[in-house]
Each structure stands twice: as structure tokens, then as C-alpha cells.
Amino acid sequence: MFKRYCNLPKNHSFFLFGARGTGKTSLLRTSIPSEKTLWLDLLNQNTEDRYRSDPELLYSECKTTQPEWVVIDEIQKIPRLLDAVHRIIENTEFLAPHFALTGSSARKLRHGGANLLAGRAFIRNLFPLTYIELGDKFDLSNVLNYGSLPKVFALNTVSDKEDFLASYGLTYLKEEVWAEHLIQELDSFRKFLEVAAQSNGKIVNFALVARDCLVHEKTAKKYYQILEDTLLGFFLEPYHRSVRKRQSKSPKFYLFDTGVQRALSRSLRQFVTPGTYAYGFAFEHLVISEAMRLNEYFKLDYRFSFFQTKDGGEIDLVIERPGKPLALVEIKSSVRTDEHDTAYLRSVKNDFGICECYCLSLDPHQRDIFGVQHFHWQSGLKALGFSE
């Protein structure tokens, strides 16, 4: 069992959102005492049928048994239950329990007009395991190839890991998207997942993606939004001081896990080896994902973007940090870095005003080269503030 850094409230109701397989249920079972806890698993068909036909049944059960906690797993399956939750929290007849409400999709709740309890429940997001959570179980090659969903670390063979990840996409299609009626055309969405995975980490050309998937551009944008809403991916916007201009350029899109990305792009059985183009891309994907996850867990409120000029010059990550200088970050998968790796970064850094420059890589030696701080990527993330 891994120690998770998603800090759950101890004395307040909360939503816990995360993609399927990130360990939401396991985290709750180790965080919430089993005594005086009413547990509703809506993945159980009998339980779902029971509360779907009578959501107010929950009120009478809480009044009768007066649990200290009520856990509702996969709340998006019965959004109407949130009205009963709201009523229980506001009741004056008995001492209301705290609620832990999990789901892998906030989309249906938000866009379906569900009652999100108006601040009466905090929101937490859970992601695949970070390198900090893995501790001495972290192995870079393993994570680049197979990702860091908890289930991966319970499997002993490469074949089992590949089979698990290959089936993950099908499970998601069936249980998350199709069953929840988030899409109407399953075949076009299946094709979209492959295209999105193959273009992972690149600037999104929505028109080209739509053409490849034989759908309208508006539909392609909707598909990307589904992935973001269900925490299966995230956009990285282009940097600009103006919010309006920031929104006028195309973003990059990253899937939430390196292993799932490789499975959906049908490259799972092509082992990623050091020194290759694929390895560099996977390493960049990992470092950016780690920064995103730790920002959420440590409540840093950082804002992330990338910077690219018309001539193709690029800064991999621009981090706006409240109360700290802007951070410009170059990510390299090499085991030895020098001034040539950050030539472009140094050529444009003065255009950003007050800023700090970093190069995160596999080089174990920390040093300053012409104003750029070179770190091993784990030490570099800590230097950037990604720590407790």
C-alpha cells in the first residue's frame, strides 16, 4: 500500500474525483474509519437500482442509523442522490454525517445540472502515483513504459502489464463514456482516443484531429473536453501575459498517464529506450504530469503553460508561481547536460522580465551554467517548490 499525498478532509464532506483505476476506493478505505460508516457502492447493480428508484431512501437510513460518515462510490451514476445529500447536511432532525463522494467524471454532474452542494463539500482530485508516493518502488523505465496506475505495481510480468493497459481503454469506453451517455458515436470516439494519444504532447490542431476521426471540429473539441473533465488528460496552454491572447492560440494536450497513452496509441509493445525520440517525449510527459499532480496535492496554485515562437523555438514549461519569480523550464532526457541544451532558453529569458531558468534532466550533477540552474529532475521539482 502506497502513502497517497491527496490530503482528504478529516471533518468535512468532500468529493473525490479521479480517473478509473487511480485508487479512489482504496484511499477511502484506509482513510475513513469503518465504524459507523454507511458505504454505498453504485457500481453494484442492486445498490444502484435501489437508490435510483428512491433517492430519498438515503435520508431515512441516515436518520435511523446516524452514521458518522457516508461514502457514495461513483456518485455520477445517480446525480439525484446529491439532493438527498444536501437535505441531510441541512437537516435539523439529527446530527448529519460527513459525506465522501467519489466519481471518475465530474462532467455529468456539472453539465447535468446536478447539485454540487454549493461549497458544503470540498473537492479533491486523485491521480496516478507520483514518484514521491512510489518512493523506492519508483523505476523510471517502468513508469515511462507502463505508467503509474496502482494496479500496474501489483502485476509481476511485462505481459500482464501490457494486457492490463490494453484493456483499460476498452473498460473506459464501456464504463465511463458509453454507459454514462457522454457520447453518441462510440466508433468515432474510439478513433479519437487513438489520434489524441498519438499526438500527445503536441500542439492540438482541432481541424486535423476532426478530419482524422471523421467528425466535426466542434465534436473533436467536445471529445477533448470529455477527457479533461474526466481527469484523463489536461491542456497545457501557450504562455502570454494577456489572458485573451493566451486563449487565442492552440494548446497542447497530455493524457494523464504514460502507460495509458502508449496503450491508446498502440505503441505499448514498442519498448521505450534511452536516447530515442520516443524516450525524450515520454520523459517530458512524465515530468510535466508530475508537476501538475504535485501542484494539486500541495495546493501550490501554480499556473502552467508552454512558450513557442513562430520559428519553432520552444520552452517546455513556463510556471507562474504566486509570490515567486516566473520559472522557465527546459526538460531533457539526457544524462549529461551543458550550455548547448539551454541555448534557446538563455536567448529569450530577458523577454520575460524577472524570471528563474531551470534545466531538468537525468543528469545527477547540480550546477549553474550561464544563469540556468541544472538539476536532476526530482531535485529540480523540489527546487521549484513541489514539496510539502
C-alpha–C-alpha distance, residues 67 and 26, integer Å: 20
- Whole-number CA gyration radius for the chain: 22
**Residues whose CB is less than 8 angstroms from the CB of residue 204 and which lie 6 or more positions away in sequence, other chains included:** 224, 235, 250, 251, 252, 253
- Condensed to tens digits (0 to 9), the pLDDT of residues 302-352 reads 999 999 987 778 999 999 999 999 999 999 999 999 999 999 999 999 999
- Condensed to tens digits (0 to 9), the pLDDT of residues 229-277 reads 889 999 999 998 765 555 557 999 999 999 999 999 999 989 999 999 9
C-alpha–C-alpha distance, residues 344 and 337, integer Å: 14
The CATH number of the domain where 346 resides is what?
Answer: 3.40.1350
Question: Which of 66, 97, 126 represents a domain boundary (last residue)?
Answer: 126
Percent above pLDDT 90 for the chain: 78
**Residues whose CB is less than 8 angstroms from the CB of residue 387 and which lie 6 or more positions away in sequence, other chains included:** 294, 298, 381
**Residues whose CB is less than 8 angstroms from the CB of residue 253 and which lie 6 or more positions away in sequence, other chains included:** 196, 199, 200, 201, 204, 224, 227, 233, 234, 235, 236
Average pLDDT, rounded, for the chain: 91
Same domain, 163 and 265: yes
- Condensed to tens digits (0 to 9), the pLDDT of residues 361-380 reads 999 999 999 999 999 999 99
| pLDDT for residue 323 | 95
Stretch 196-218: mean pLDDT, rounded?
95
C-alpha–C-alpha distance, residues 340 and 338, integer Å: 5
pTM of the model: 0.93
**236 in any annotated domain:** no
Q: How many domains does the chain have?
A: 3
Return the SS3 of 305. strand
**Residues whose CB is less than 8 angstroms from the CB of residue 118 and which lie 6 or more positions away in sequence, other chains included:** none
Return the SS3 of 25. helix
Domain holding 342, by residue range, is: 298-383
Stretch 286-297: mean pLDDT, rounded?
98
**Which of 69-83, 174-188, 292-306 has the highest average model confidence (pLDDT)?**
292-306
| pLDDT for residue 301 | 96
- H/E run at residue 185: none
Q: Which residue has the higher pLDDT, 45 or 171?
A: 45
Question: Which of 97, 126, 155 represents a domain boundary (last residue)?
Answer: 126
